[in-house]
């Protein structure tokens, strides 16, 4: 209302110039002049659409986005307030050509005019593609895409982490597929913003958060389909760095099959869709049970075959000549020992018979030589001092002898 009165006053001054107007110009304070300029600009440019190249793009700690829009010969400052940043479908970066919708405003304390942006869009898909290729080349040179970094995905995980929007189609598809295929697995959702300013940082923080869970086996990071701008958070460097430093293997599941993002190149495995990620991360429970059953039957059949083969081999071995030769040799040796025993027995018996015969003969000869034998026929033995005297010449007169007869002895003196 105050501005309207000023306009009316200025107009009347112009219609009724004072005779001293040329010599007494209107003197305005800086605030008044700035206010008049502010009114003129803000009412004259309530809506503008401006194209240019971004520079000095930065999100302030307050959450507001400040930038400079320039071309070859001029530049203008701009701001997008925190309440509108959520409408952005990509992350504006320095050097990117964009189209800014908004209005012209004047910041009175500095006397500076700027664009109060209501929307910022890339100047065609080519700008996003250029930014994509630039970051892709940088990360590829650092080795973040190398296959040697890729880790295998566990065959049967016990605990799965998911970073995505809690209200999007991706989480519904993932939980449906995982629940159908392997309902026993535990799923941990880390809700994240997946689109607009700040989405990349939130996704990166979600990846880091899930890495603090010690027994997490695998992680899925992604969202449902959309335009290149919708998926842009997964083409930003914070997400790529978080994926590269993750200790847990990561499956990237962004958009549709034809959509490729930087996250797909850095992750350990790319799934063409969130549903496909659910199929990659867990096996089909019924297929596992069938596989276990088939393995059990296969192992059992193999064991039975091995037992049959071993039994047949043992049977052949037991009936083989080589195996039975030792037994034959043993029986032959036993027979030989028996024969030797018989031979020894016969020999010993024969020797005993010979010895006995010789003993009898010797006994007979000894009996025949018995000096007492003649006594039965009336002879007598002459003993002198216990010695038998066989010849008379051995005796002398006066020798005392003993005459031994069959029935006794008699002492005599030789004449």
Residue 331 CB contacts under 8 Å (≥ 6 apart), including other chains: none
Domain that holds residue 395: 373-413
Element holding 258 (H helix, E strand): none
End-to-end C-alpha distance for the chain, whole angstroms: 207
The total of structural domains in the chain comes to: 3
Pair 166, 232 in one domain: yes
On whether residue 286 sits in a domain, the answer given is no
| Contact criterion met (CB below 8 Å) for 59 and 99 | no
**235, 253, 281 — which closes off a domain?**
281
CATH (domain of 84): 2.40.50.140
pLDDT along the chain (415 residues), means of 10: 44 48 74 88 89 88 90 90 82 85 90 90 76 89 94 94 93 93 93 90 96 96 88 93 96 90 95 93 82 85 89 81 73 84 85 86 77 74 82 83 83 86
On whether residue 54 sits in a domain, the answer given is yes
With 0-12 / 13-18 / 19 or more C-beta atoms within 10 angstroms meaning exposed / middle / buried, residue 225 is middle
Residue 45 CB contacts under 8 Å (≥ 6 apart), including other chains: 103, 104
* Residue 75, both tokens: 């530049």
Buried b (16+ CB within 10 A) or exposed e, 43-66: eeeeeeebebbbeebebeeeeebe
Residue 297, helix vs strand vs coil: helix
Pair 107, 181 in one domain: no
**266, 281, 296 — which closes off a domain?**
281
On whether residue 318 sits in a domain, the answer given is no
pLDDT score of 24: 65
pLDDT score of 350: 84
Pair 272, 242 in one domain: yes
On whether residue 192 sits in a domain, the answer given is yes
197: DSSP letter: T
On whether residue 322 sits in a domain, the answer given is no
**241, 263, 281 — which closes off a domain?**
281
On whether residue 33 sits in a domain, the answer given is yes
Pair 179, 105 in one domain: no
On whether residue 193 sits in a domain, the answer given is yes
| Contact criterion met (CB below 8 Å) for 48 and 104 | yes
Pair 116, 91 in one domain: yes
């Amino acid at each position: 209302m105050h501005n309207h009165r000023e306009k009316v006053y200025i107009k009347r001054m112009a219609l009724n110039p004072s005779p001293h107007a040329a010599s007494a110009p209107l003197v305005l304070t800086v605030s008044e002049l700035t206010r008049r300029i502010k009114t003129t600009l803000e009412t004259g440019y309530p809506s503008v659409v401006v194209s240019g190249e971004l520079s000095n793009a930065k999100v302030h700690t307050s959450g507001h986005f400040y930038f400079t829009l320039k071309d070859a010969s001029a530049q203008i400052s701009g701001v997008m307030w925190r309440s509108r940043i959520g409408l952005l479908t990509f992350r504006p970066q320095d050097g990117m050509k964009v189209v800014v919708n908004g209005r012209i405003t004047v910041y009175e304390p500095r006397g500076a005019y700027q664009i109060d942006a209501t929307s910022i869009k890339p100047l065609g898909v080519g700008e996003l593609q250029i930014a994509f290729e630039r970051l892709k080349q940088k990360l590829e040179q650092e080795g973040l895409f190398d296959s040697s970094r890729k880790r295998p995905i566990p065959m049967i995980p016990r605990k799965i982490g998911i970073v995505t929007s809690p209200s999007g189609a991706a989480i519904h598809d993932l939980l449906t597929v995982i629940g159908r295929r392997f309902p026993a697995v535990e799923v941990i959702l880390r809700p994240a913003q997946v689109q607009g300013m700040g989405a990349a940082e939130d996704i990166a923080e979600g990846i880091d958060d899930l890495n603090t869970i010690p027994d997490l086996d695998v992680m899925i990071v992604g969202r449902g389909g959309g335009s290149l701008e919708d998926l842009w958070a997964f083409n930003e460097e914070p997400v790529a760095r978080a994926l590269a430093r993750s200790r847990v293997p990561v499956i990237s599941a962004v958009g549709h099959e034809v959509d490729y993002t930087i996250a797909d190149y850095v992750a350990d495995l790319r799934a063409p869709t969130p549903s496909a990620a659910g199929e990659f991360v867990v096996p089909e429970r019924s297929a596992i049970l069938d596989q276990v059953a088939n393995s059990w039957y296969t192992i059992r059949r193999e064991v039975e075959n091995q037992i049959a083969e071993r039994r047949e081999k043992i049977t052949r071995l037991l009936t083989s000549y080589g195996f039975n030769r030792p037994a034959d040799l043993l029986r032959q040796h036993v027979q030989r020992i028996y024969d030797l025993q018989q031979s020894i027995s016969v020999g010993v018996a024969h020797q005993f018979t010979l010895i006995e015969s010789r003993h009898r003969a010797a006994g007979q000869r000894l009996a025949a030589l018995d000096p007492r034998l003649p006594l039965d026929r009336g002879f007598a033995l002459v003993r002198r001092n216990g010695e038998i005297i066989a010849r008379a010449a051995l005796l002398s007169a006066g020798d005392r002898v003993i005459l031994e007869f069959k029935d006794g002895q008699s002492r005599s003196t030789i004449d």
